[in-house]
Amino acid sequence: MSSAIDRIAEWAAQAQRGVAFTGAGISTESGIPDFRGPNGFWKRNDAAKFTFQNYVADPEHRKERWRQAVEGRSFMRSDVRPNAGHTALANLERAGAIRGVITQNIDGLHQESGSTKVLELHGTAKKIGCLDCGERWPAPVILERVVAGEDDPRCTYCGGILKSATISFGQQLPEDVVEEAHRWSLDADFFLVVGSSLVVSPANGFPIVAKRRGAKLAIVNREPTDLDDIFDEVIHDDAGPTLTAIVERLEALSPRRPL
């Protein structure tokens, strides 16, 4: 495995337009369950109920969701912290090895660890927005209103329905974000996937696009994926220690780009 780390670090050192792509696997080391996994949120909750259409149509469903949120039974948790994997990716950006991170995660942990360019394909649980006028608030601002007694809080400007700024089932992915992620992938000379099983579209398309344009592809994921064959290096291990080792190797290779 050390030779795989060496090779990935060399690609990182040479990269001009590197890209990292992350999924739930990088955040499980922060204690956030992989909600698609065997013990995940969708195994414990009725996924069919959690559609965007149901949220808009059913006030009782919204009230239940707000109750879950203030009781810490949802993605809007505030008690989780970035781990070594997030820190390593922030360091790769600082070193110029990647231009930023494309992520499927909604936990905001990349930004918290110092990544400045993050494309959030599935939105963010750190914000709550109005579905009518688009106004947004930090999540705690609205959750405080729920705790104070509003069971279905509304927009203070237009009265519209409020919802976590995450993308629900039945809701379109943000087009501008997807397009930007596609451009990064087209342009990439180094593409590093971390903690994603690459089963959800359009996620699985990005490394394929990058590969076709000649990028070096590496994946760090605990489990094998259906796309492992297209990667130039595959490491089946935890993100934190593996990425930390890659960054240490990169520092040794390119002392002129201090972290």
Catalytic residues: 122
Helix residue ranges per DSSP H, 30-96: 41-44, 52-57, 59-70, 84-94
Cα(33)–Cα(66) distance, integer angstroms: 20
Q: How far is the CB of 161 from Zn ion (least distance, A)?
A: 9
Which residues does 174 contact at the CB level (< 8 Å), separation at least 6? 120, 121, 123, 167
Torsion angles phi and psi, residue 51, rounded to 5: -95, 160
Cα(56)–Cα(123) distance, integer angstroms: 18
Q: Which of 44, 157, 183, 228 binds Zn ion (CB under 5 A)?
A: 157
Judged by CB under 5 A, which stretch of 128-136, 143-151, 206-214, 246-254 contacts Zn ion? 128-136
If the CB atoms of residues 40 and 160 are measured against Zn ion, the closer one turns out to be 160
- Angle at the Cα of 30 (from 148 to 117), degrees rounded to 5? 85
- Site map for Zn ion, 72-111, x if CB under 5 A? ----------------------------------------
130 scored as a contact of Zn ion (CB under 5 A): yes
43 scored as a contact of Zn ion (CB under 5 A): no
162 scored as a contact of Zn ion (CB under 5 A): no
Helix residue ranges per DSSP H, 104-217: 109-112, 139-147, 175-187, 205-212
Cα(206)–Cα(8) distance, integer angstroms: 18
155 scored as a contact of Zn ion (CB under 5 A): yes
If the CB atoms of residues 33 and 160 are measured against Zn ion, the closer one turns out to be 160
Contact (CB, 8 A) for 202 and 173: yes
Q: How far is the CB of 129 from Zn ion (least distance, A)?
A: 8
If the CB atoms of residues 154 and 222 are measured against Zn ion, the closer one turns out to be 154
Torsion angles phi and psi, residue 157, rounded to 5: -90, -45
Q: Which of 96, 160, 174, 205 binds Zn ion (CB under 5 A)?
A: 160
Q: How far is the CB of 204 from Zn ion (least distance, A)?
A: 35
Applying the rule CB under 5 A, the residues between 135 and 154 that interact with Zn ion are 135
Q: Which of 1, 57, 133, 141 binds Zn ion (CB under 5 A)?
A: 133
Judged by CB under 5 A, which stretch of 49-57, 131-139, 197-205, 247-255 contacts Zn ion? 131-139
Distances (CA, A) of 98 to 83, 123, 217: 19, 21, 13
Residues in touch with Zn ion (CB under 5 A): 130, 132-133, 135, 155, 157-158, 160
